[in-house]
C-alpha cells in the first residue's frame, strides 16, 4: 500500500513571481498537476498535497476528487513539511511516496522502479538519485555501494563534498512507521536553518539509492530559466511522439503542442502553430502556418491558416482563414468556408455555408448553404444584453448588411446590400432596408451659380 505526498508549500522565491511556484505551467498543465499525474497510475490509497504559501490559490487550482490538502503554515523546510502529515497518518503501516512539487518531468516508470527496489529489498527508505555533470544546487548523496550514508545540501557541503556528482532528486519512498519515529527529532542546525527531510534519511534504517535512467526527468524548477529548459524537454518528448505516430511537423522548433492534445495520423502542422489544451484534430487536416488552436475539436480534412480557434468545433472539410477568429463555442458544419477577417463568437453554422470576408457573427445560428456577404455584421449587443440572430437555409446577405438582434431571417431570404435589418423577414423574400439613391443632375453648375 502506498500513500503519495507532494511537497508544494514553498514560495519559490527564485521564480520572482506572485504566483506560487508549483502553479507555474509547462505544456499546458501546472507543475503540481504533472507531479500528481505521474503518480496516479500507482493507484495510491491517498494523495496528499502539502500547501502553505498561497494555500488557497493552490487548492483552488487543484479541484480534483479525493485529493487531501495538509497545511504547513510556516515553511521551515522539507522535513517540517512532512512532519505535518503525522496527525493524518497515525497508525498507517504502509509506504509513503514523497514527491517534490517542483520536479514536473518525472515518468511513472521511474516511480514504479523506485517502489519495486524499495519493496524487494525491504528498505526503510529508497531515494531517487542521478549523476549530473553540473550538480550545483542539489543535495549530494553519499553512498556505499547503493546504500545511502548521508545527504548533504549544496549550501552545507564542504568544497570536497561539493565535487560529488550524485544528487538527490527529491523523490523518496519511506516505510512510514520508520519515518514517523524519526521526524519529531529533526534538527535545524544547517546553513538554511531548516528542518531537512534529507536528514531523516540517515536515521531511518537501511536506505538505498536508485539512479534515474534519463536525468532530464528529475530537473527541479527553481527559476524561470529551469522552467524554460523543462518546457523544451517536454516539447521535444511530445513532438517526437506525434511525428512517430504519423503527424508531419514542418519546422518543429517553431511549433508548440501541449501534451493534452490528441492528433490523428496524416495531419500536417505548419510553422508557427500552437496547439493547446483539450484540442483534438482528425486525419487529413492541415493547420497553420501561424495558427493557435485551443480546446477545440477539428474534424477530418479541415484547413486552418493564420487563424485563432478557441473553445470551438469545426466539422470535416471546412476551411478557416486566413485571419479568422473563432471563439466562445463557435460550431461550424461540414465543407464551410470561414474566410478573411471573420470573427465568430458563440455562433452555430450549418453545412456548406460561407462567411468569406470581413464579418462578425456573434450569438448567431445560421443554416445550411447560407452565404454571408462581405462586411455583414450581427449587432448582438444593445449595451446591456446579448441577443441572437437566426438565419435560415440558403439565405444570402448582401455586402455591408447589419442584422440587429434579436432578429430572424427565414429560409431563402435575400438581403439587399447595405441594409440594416431590424425586423424578422419571412421565408423566400427579398428585403431592402436602406434609403433610396437620389441623383441630382447638374449639381456643380447649380452650386456655382449662387
* Catalytic site positions: 357
Residue nearest to Ca ion (CB): 220
Residue matched to cell numbers 456577404: 373
**Site for ligand UD1, rule CB under 6 A:** 7-10, 50, 52, 72, 75-78, 80-81, 100-103, 138-139, 151, 153, 167-170, 196-198, 220, 222
What cell numbers appear for 132 in the block? 549530473
Question: Measured between alpha carbons, how far is residue 401 from residues 228, 409, 417, 431 in Å?
Answer: 48, 13, 6, 11
**At closest approach, how far in Å is the CB of 233 from ligand UD1?**
15
- The whole-angstrom separation of Cα 159 and Cα 190 is 16
220 near Ca ion, judged by CB under 5 A: yes
Q: Tell me, what DSSP letter sits at residue 449?
A: H
Which does residue 10 touch among Ca ion, ligand UD1, none (CB within 5 to 8 A, set by kind)?
Answer: ligand UD1
Taking contact as CB under 5 A, which single stretch among the options 17-25, 34-42, 215-223, 425-433 is the one that binds Ca ion? Answer: 215-223
**At closest approach, how far in Å is the CB of 199 from Ca ion?**
17
Give every CB contact of residue 163 below 8 A, 6+ residues apart in sequence.
none
In this complex, which beta carbon is closest to ligand UD1, that of residue 75 or of residue 400?
Answer: 75
Which does residue 150 touch among ligand UD1, Ca ion, none (CB within 5 to 8 A, set by kind)?
Answer: none
Give every CB contact of residue 122 below 8 A, 6+ residues apart in sequence.
206
Is 101 strand, coil or helix? coil
**At closest approach, how far in Å is the CB of 122 from Ca ion?**
30
Give every CB contact of residue 248 below 8 A, 6+ residues apart in sequence.
267, 268, 269
Which does residue 28 touch among Ca ion, ligand UD1, none (CB within 5 to 8 A, set by kind)?
Answer: none
Written as one string, the DSSP assignment of 106-174 is: --HHHHHHHHHHHHHTT-SEEEEEEE-S--TTSPEEEEETTEEEEEE-GGG--TTGGG--EEEEEEEEE
- The whole-angstrom separation of Cα 116 and Cα 128 is 12
Question: Measured between alpha carbons, how far is residue 44 from residues 118, 120, 210 in Å?
Answer: 16, 18, 21
Taking contact as CB under 5 A, which single stretch among the options 145-153, 219-227, 263-271, 289-297 is the one that binds Ca ion? Answer: 219-227
Is 38 strand, coil or helix? helix
Which does residue 50 touch among ligand UD1, Ca ion, none (CB within 5 to 8 A, set by kind)?
Answer: ligand UD1
Contact (Cβ atoms closer than 8 angstroms) between residue 69 and residue 7: no
In this complex, which beta carbon is closest to Ca ion, that of residue 102 or of residue 258?
Answer: 102
In this complex, which beta carbon is closest to Ca ion, that of residue 138 or of residue 242?
Answer: 138
In this complex, which beta carbon is closest to ligand UD1, that of residue 93 or of residue 158?
Answer: 158
- The pattern of x and - marking residues 86 through 115 that bind Ca ion according to CB under 5 A reads ----------------x-------------
CB count in 10 Å sphere of residue 16: 8
**At closest approach, how far in Å is the CB of 174 from Ca ion?**
19
In this complex, which beta carbon is closest to Ca ion, that of residue 64 or of residue 225?
Answer: 225
Which does residue 7 touch among Ca ion, ligand UD1, none (CB within 5 to 8 A, set by kind)?
Answer: ligand UD1
**At closest approach, how far in Å is the CB of 43 from ligand UD1?**
23
The dihedral formed by the CA atoms of 176, 182, 187 and 191, expressed in degrees to the nearest 10: -50
**At closest approach, how far in Å is the CB of 12 from ligand UD1?**
6
In this complex, which beta carbon is closest to ligand UD1, that of residue 231 or of residue 256?
Answer: 231
The residues binding Ca ion (CB under 5 A) are 102, 220, 222
Amino acid at each position: 500500500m502506498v500513500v503519495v505526498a507532494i511537497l508544494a508549500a514553498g514560495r519559490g522565491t527564485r521564480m520572482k513571481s506572485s504566483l506560487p511556484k508549483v502553479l507555474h505551467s509547462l505544456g499546458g498543465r501546472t507543475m503540481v498537476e504533472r507531479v500528481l499525474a505521474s503518480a496516479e497510475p500507482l493507484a495510491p490509497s491517498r494523495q496528499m498535497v502539502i500547501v502553505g504559501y498561497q494555500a488557497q490559490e493552490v487548492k483552488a487550482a487543484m479541484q480534483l476528487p479525493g485529493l487531501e490538502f495538509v497545511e504547513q503554515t510556516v515553511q521551515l523546510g522539507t522535513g517540517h513539511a512532512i512532519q505535518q502529515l503525522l496527525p493524518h497518518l497515525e497508525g498507517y503501516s504502509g509506504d509513503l511516496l514523497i514527491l517534490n512539487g517542483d520536479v514536473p518531468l518525472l515518468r511513472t516508470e521511474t516511480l514504479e522502479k523506485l517502489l519495486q527496489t524499495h519493496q524487494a529489498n525491504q528498505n526503510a527508505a529508497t531515494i531517487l538519485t542521478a549523476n549530473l555533470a553540473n550538480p550545483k544546487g542539489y543535495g549530494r548523496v553519499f553512498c556505499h555501494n547503493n546504500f545511502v550514508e548521508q545527504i548533504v545540501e549544496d549550501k552545507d557541503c564542504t568544497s570536497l563534498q561539493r565535487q560529488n556528482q550524485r544528487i538527490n532528486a527529491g523523490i523518496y519512498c519511506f516505510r512510514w512507521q520508520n519515518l514517523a519515529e524519526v521526524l519529531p527529532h529533526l534538527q535545524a542546525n544547517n546553513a538554511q536553518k531548516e528542518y531537512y527531510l534529507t536528514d531523516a534519511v540517515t536515521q531511518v534504517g537501511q536506505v538505498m539509492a536508485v539512479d534515474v535512467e534519463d536525468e532530464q526527468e528529475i530537473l527541479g524548477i527553481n527559476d524561470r530559466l529551469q522552467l524554460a529548459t523543462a518546457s523544451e524537454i517536454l516539447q521535444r518528448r511530445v513532438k517526437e511522439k506525434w511525428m512517430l505516430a504519423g503527424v508531419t511537423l514542418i519546422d518543429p522548433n517553431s511549433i508548440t503542442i501541449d501534451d493534452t492534445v490528441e492528433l490523428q495520423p496524416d495531419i500536417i502542422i505548419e510553422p508557427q502553430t500552437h496547439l493547446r489544451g483539450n484540442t483534438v484534430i482528425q486525419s487529413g487536416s492541415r493547420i497553420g502556418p501561424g495558427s493557435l488552436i485551443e480546446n477545440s475539436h477539428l474534424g477530418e480534412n479541415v484547413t486552418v491558416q493564420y487563424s485563432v480557434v478557441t473553445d470551438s468545433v469545426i466539422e470535416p472539410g471546412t476551411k478557416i482563414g486566413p485571419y479568422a477568429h473563432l471563439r466562445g463555442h463557435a460550431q461550424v458544419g461540414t465543407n464551410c468556408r470561414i474566410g478573411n477577417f471573420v470573427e465568430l463568437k458563440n455562433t452555430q453554422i450549418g453545412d456548406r455555408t460561407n462567411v468569406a470576408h470581413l464579418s462578425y457573427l456573434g450569438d448567431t445560428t445560421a443554416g445550411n448553404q447560407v452565404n454571408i456577404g462581405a462586411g455583414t455584421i450581427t449587432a448582438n449587443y444593445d449595451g446591456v444584453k446579448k441577443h441572437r440572430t437566426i438565419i435560415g437555409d440558403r439565405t444570402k446577405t448582401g455586402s455591408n448588411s447589419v442584422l440587429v438582434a434579436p432578429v430572424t431571417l427565414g429560409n431563402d431570404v435575400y438581403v439587399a446590400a447595405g441594409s440594416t435589418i431590424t425586423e424578422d423577414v419571412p421565408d423566400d423574400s427579398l428585403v431592402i432596408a436602406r434609403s433610396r439613391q437620389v441623383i441630382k443632375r447638374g449639381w456643380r453648375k447649380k452650386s456655382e451659380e449662387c
